[in-house]
Amino acid sequence: MKHVFTHRVIYQDTDAEGVVYYANYLGYFERGRTELLRQMKINLKQVKEKLGIVFAVNRVECDYKAPAVYDDELTITTEIAETTPVRIIFQQEALKGGQLLVSAKTTLCALNVSNFKPTRLPKGLLAG
């Protein structure tokens, strides 16, 4: 399953040169992951309240290929690349008109909310 959304670069997203500040892509990718899970009918608030599980970013790898600037329309894509018993690994891209600007591989770790130690993902959670 893949989630896609568009984002128009606003002034707040840019640095003094009008180029999207590199860390803002992490925010775009966060939105993509959240919306992909929502599309899969996974409500993170309910996962926390009912299962006692929260997710934390464990690792991010970003490759910056080309800049986006003020008023560009970006397409952000997100899909699950891999799962392990305690992790979800997402593959994400930011594109402008089909041109790849940034790619990222983001790993989330499932944590027990009571002690913040890694915990197994419940069977069927990602069946979406």
Tens digit of each residue's pLDDT (9 = 90 or more) over 87-100:
999 999 999 999 99
pLDDT tens, 18-73? 999 999 999 999 999 999 999 999 999 999 999 999 999 999 999 999 999 999 99
- pLDDT the model gives residue 128: 55
Q: Which amino acid is at 94?
A: A
Tell me the mean pLDDT in the region 110-117: 96
Interatomic CA distance for residues 67 and 16, integer angstroms = 14
Domain boundaries, given as residue ranges, for the chain: 2-122
Just give the CATH number of 2-122: 3.10.129.10
Interatomic CA distance for residues 32 and 16, integer angstroms = 26
Interatomic CA distance for residues 77 and 46, integer angstroms = 25
Active site members: 15
